[in-house]
Amino acid sequence: MRRNLRCPYHSWTYGLDGTLIAAPNIAELTDTDGASIDRHRYGLVAVALREWLGYAWVCLAEDPPSFEDDVVGSVTARLGDVSAIDTYRIEALQVGRRVSYDVAANWKLIVENFMECYHCATIHPELTRVIPEFARGQAAQRSVGRGAEFGSAVAGFTVDGRAGFTALPGIRPEQDRRYFAITVKPTVFINLVPDHAIIHRMFPIAADRTIVECDWL
């Protein structure tokens, strides 16, 4: 385990508590007032950090909201049960593939698009064949704890509806053959199906540009 953090560009080195430990020629450096560099003043800024579902969740707010209320609460609101997501054991899954999209759109438009399926019948016909209720414009977020059921002739959440992988251990009967979509505001989507999970993360680059990173687990 590393005992420090080192900037590869200027070689400033910090302790795991954020304290500035060393920097090239630090004894000769001065701040804008001409004073010697104060190691405590020039340390790293502490931020709120939680590890959950195998990801590091960071909040830069000086007064961060409750993680349990904002993040875990968003998941519970969709699944209807705080323990429902635990059955997928996302933290134990491996990334099978990571895909990044450079989208010419504001991140808020992407969130809105994900949360509605009125467009699905015309834009995603292959999806509506797997999940027929999407053809009626209904979104997976509409019913707490219910999800969206696969079509009767559909074996798996694949492009052609054929079987994919074996269901994840621990999947409940009421989670089988169903797709659950969760929006964790502001910039995370969680997609759950019996044999895998998909995590979308958005990185706003400009008012009209967003990088969307998708992990297939």
Find tokens 């979308």 and name the residue.
200
167-211 pLDDT, tens digit each: 999 999 999 999 999 999 999 999 999 999 999 999 999 999 999
Transcribe 61-102 into DSSP letters: -SSPPPHIIIIIHHHHHHHSSTTGGGGG-GGG---SEEEEEE
Find tokens 């340390």 and name the residue.
43
Find tokens 């409940």 and name the residue.
172
The segments of the chain whose pLDDT lies below 70 read 1, 140-144
d(CA 116, CA 212): 18
* CA 79 to chain CA centroid, nearest Å: 16
Specify the pLDDT at position 67. 96
Specify the pLDDT at position 99. 98
Burial class (CB in 10 A: 0-12, 13-18, 19+), 197: buried
Specify the pLDDT at position 140. 59
Specify the pLDDT at position 154. 94
* CA 128 to chain CA centroid, nearest Å: 24
* CA 29 to chain CA centroid, nearest Å: 41
Specify the pLDDT at position 191. 95
Distances (CA, A) of 96 to 22, 89, 180, 196, 215: 39, 15, 20, 10, 8
* CA 68 to chain CA centroid, nearest Å: 15
Specify the pLDDT at position 78. 86
d(CA 190, CA 210): 18
- C-alpha torsion 91→94→96→100, nearest 10: 50
All residues at 6 or more sequence positions from 142 whose CB lies less than 8 Å from its CB, including other chains = none
